[in-house]
Chains A and B, each alone.
Chain A
Amino acid sequence: MKILVTVKRVPDPEQKIKLKDDRIDLSAANWQLNQFDEYAVEAALRLTEDARNPATRLGEVTVVSLGPAEVQQQLRAALAMGADKAVRVDSRDEDLDADIVARTVEKLVRRDSPDLVLMGKLAADNEGNEVGQRLAGYLGWPQATFASIIEVVEGGKALLVGREVDAGVEMKKVRLPAVVTVDLRIVAPQAIKNGRTPPDHAYPEGPRYASLKGIMAAKKKPIEELTLAQLAIQPTLRVRTVSVRLPPPRKAGIKVSSVQELVDKLHNEAKVI
């Protein structure tokens, strides 16, 4: 199976946001791989290996990112985990919106013809949750979002995808090629069944570490560099950020001395009960 995985670098979500001139100041940002994209890479690797002998690849995983040269670091990290090759499309974050990203990935998909596009369900920076759906639309491919289970069925021609919904798990069958976006439980020990790894095999929870052999192998793996122009993408923003403001600081709380006083204040001042 040939899988294309999109990855994005995001500022460390734990870091406090600073504003400068109505914009988020990212000059001191600590960049890392978007967590859901890291899960997508792990899912792609589990789909393309036999866990009893992971050194032998059963498919090919290409990781793709749009961003400046520094994104190489996140791509190398994915290669060190075990992805086979990488593509970087040169761009600056402020020149992109979800639509440009989706159209760029569409071009790559049409060029490389993967069987499956795996993506994180959203990126932790703007929590857009748009690119997967737009991409499936542009390609005219079936889509399954928020996947927590993926099972290869019908001899590799379709996927059974489990999605967590309020009432339980919804199972959907999508014919390949398809676009699947993953949720956090896709890295549970037995979330993925690829037909080659024994079904009772349990992976350690979470995405794998980069092993030393993986890091050294990553040095030799190719990263293809492209520009938006080479892919004939018109970088016209449909969504523009006008300004960014922090939410107003919360008012300080008060201490009450009795339950009676609490009830009184909730009723007469806050008027919530």
Chain B
Amino acid sequence: MPVQMTTSLYALPPALEAQLLTQLPAGTLSFDPADLVLWGRDWTRVHPPAPAAVAWPRSAEEVSLLLRLCHEHRVPVVPSGGRTGLAGGAVAARGELVLSLSRMNQLGPIDTVAETVRVEAGAVTQAVHEHAARVGLSWPIDLASRGSCQIGGNIATNAGGVRVLRYGPTRHWVLGLEVVTAQGTLLQLGGALHKDNTGLDLRQLFIGSEGTLGVITAATLKLCKAPESMDVLLLQVADLPAVLRLLGAARQGPFSLLAFEYMARACIERVCQHRGLRHPLGGDRGGCYVLLEVERPAGGTQQVLAGWLEQVLSQGLVQDGVLATSQRQAQELWALREGISETLGTTGLPHKNDVALPLSALPAFVDALEALFAQRYPGWEVFTFGHVGDGNLHINVMKPPDMDPATFYQHTQQVDHDLFRLVARHGGSISAEHGIGLLKKAYLSYARSPAEIALMRAVKQALDPHGILNPGKIFD
């Protein structure tokens, strides 16, 4: 459904509004309809935003005060970061109070011995990258939305991104968390310790909880040395089975793999067209594409790649390709991959799926998927791409131009049941990195057993008995 400007459909209880306005500094709250629309939604466009208010606290104490008051009044709260999510996890569509961490963006000094840094939750991911890069370190979670997304959101969604293949998801790079619970209690979970075996690791509960268990206000991040000499290649490959054989060959290559991204040719075509970019191979010549990013061994030149490339070319794994010889060209190649989501969202209305499969099951899954889509989406535009090195496929089905959005969503939701049955049958996950949020909750049972979901509910009940934190996300 298209987003419309909402006039205030919802309002905070007057007593709560009065308390918030008197106890928080001026300028912390907004009820402006334009703010409500902007801050009530993420990158999804399915649910029109309709929060009752937006708050921008400046400290964990203010977050605690806000939550304590909302808890007393049983007013739901949507914790909010850069709002770049793709599952509706940060959407406020039912009169919630949006609690934005944007003003809490302080970056602490970097401990170069322990390789850690303490940052506030609202710090933009790219700012953290740049902060660490000044001392030659890196927080290796990297996403196409790095310029907008925030550390708190990265942690709350256990974000993946383009370097999971080498570094794993966000969970691996968080040492300590500061969390405010639904009742307003401030918790320090872990610190800068690399080792801490003292009972349950509560911090892990909040990582990936999508804002349903507590509000993350600060984190101690684990850093690592930034890769030194990286090479970026765009390779043209015949088909998906060949892509997987190429992955096998790349794992044996004289380098370490940083990223292995798959793109159907339609993706590159659309991005080039939309952004006015040149096709790196001079034009489409069929097959599909792999964007490969590798780190060369110290002191090695690009020539170490030449031998490997010769091998994969002679084996027919690769048909053609280019190697970026400068930082500029590397960025141009990455722009083709990172521009896909924005391009699809701007040039049409995509229905997004984000599935993960065991690598061995991927070719059979894709065959079955193509058969399913040919039957259920005959002639529709479908764009597939993703972090194939992690078994992660992004599937975007575009709304046919002559169909109204409501019919489109209704149809895609029906097909999703078939799709997720297929995913489950091949031992996959229905949401590899986007989370469950609002958009995938109807399908949670394809990924998790009733016993698991019951346990999740018990944890939610223990931490948020009145269900004020991000209600309706993950499950109802």
Question: In this complex, what residue of A is CB-closest to B333?
Answer: A209
Contact in complex: B320, A204 (CB < 8 Å): no
Q: Cβ of A204 and Cβ of B301 under 8 Å apart?
A: no
Given B235, B278, B306, which contacts A204 in the complex, CB threshold below 8 Å?
Answer: B278
- Residues of B near A113 (CB, < 8 A) are none
From A27-35, A132-140, A164-172, A263-271, give the one contacting chain B: A27-35
Give residues 5-47 of A contacting B (CB, 8 Å): 12, 14, 16, 28, 30, 32-33, 35, 38
The CA of A16 and the CA of B134, in the complex, are separated in Å by 9
CB of B302 within 8 A of chain A? yes
User: What are 17 residue pairs bridging A and B, where the CB atoms are less than 8 Å apart in the complex?
Assistant: A12-B327, A32-B326, A35-B326, A38-B326, A73-B301, A77-B325, A80-B323, A204-B278, A205-B278, A209-B322, A212-B309, A212-B318, A215-B306, A216-B310, A218-B306, A219-B303, A219-B306
Q: With the chains together, A38 CA to B323 CA distance in Å?
A: 15
A212 and B278 form a contact (CB under 8 A): no
- B325 with A209: CB separation less than 8 A: yes
Count how many chain B residues have C-beta atoms less than 8 Å from C-beta atoms of the other chain.
Answer: 27
Bound Cα distance A206, B313 (Å): 26
A210 within 8 A of B: yes
0/1 interface trace, chain B 280-310, chain A, CB 8 Å (1 if under): 1110000000000000000001110110011
Q: Mark A164-207, 1 if CB is under 8 A from B, else 0.
A: 00000000000000000000000000000000000000001110
A189 and chain B: residue at smallest CB distance: B278
How many angstroms from the CA of A80 to the CA of B280 in the assembled complex?
15
- Which residues of B have CB within 8 Å of A28? 136
A212 near B313: Cβ-Cβ < 8 Å: yes
Give chain A interface residues in 70-129, CB to chain B under 8 Å.
72-73, 76-77, 80-81
A211 lies within 8 A of B136 (CB): no
**Which residues from A are CB-within-8-Å of B324?**
209-210
Q: Which B residues lie within 8 Å of A32 (CB)?
A: 326-327
How distant is A246 from chain B, measured CB to nearest CB, in Å? 15
Given A210-B322, A212-B323, 11 further pairs, Cβ under 8 A: A38-B326, A73-B301, A73-B302, A76-B301, A206-B278, A211-B281, A211-B321, A211-B323, A212-B321, A213-B313, A215-B302
| CB pair B280 A215 closer than 8 Å | no
A73: B residues at CB distance < 8 A: 301-302
Give Cα distance in the complex from A115 to B273, angstroms.
Answer: 40
Most buried by A among B136, B303, B324, B325: B325
Tell me, in angstroms, the Cα distance from A30 to B330 when the chains sit together. Answer: 14
